[in-house]
Amino acid sequence: MPKSKTRDKVAYTPPTEPTPQKIKLESSAWVPRFMVAFFVIGLAWMVLYYLASNISWVDSLGAWNVVIGFGFIAAGFGVATRWR
């Protein structure tokens, strides 16, 4: 019976680990300032709408004042996602 060929196995070499990247864990100084500013502006807009609705430019917007107030608050939450 003929002899089969022998296979040469290549020795296993584990993959080299990539060098770890330094991650910046600090947020910029503007992030908490803008976040708090958007929250305060949104809250102030809502309070102004409910307490001083007899002002002509506030009354002319009607129910859009609620949308504007919540828009500022939502922008504050959007900026808050950048805070670390």
Helices 64-80 and 30-51, packing angle to 10 deg = 160
Burial (0-12, 13-18, 19+ Cβ within 10 Å), 56: exposed
Comparing 15 with 78, the larger pLDDT belongs to: 78
With 0.75 as the threshold, say if the pTM is over it.
no
- Tokens representing 64 are 């859009």
Residue 3, CB-side half-sphere exposure with 13 Å CA sphere: 3
- Residue 22, SS3 per DSSP: coil
Give 20-44 pLDDT, tens digit per residue. Answer: 888 777 888 899 999 999 999 999 9
What is the gyration radius of the CA atoms in the chain, in angstroms?
Answer: 31
In this model, does residue 78 exceed pLDDT 80? yes
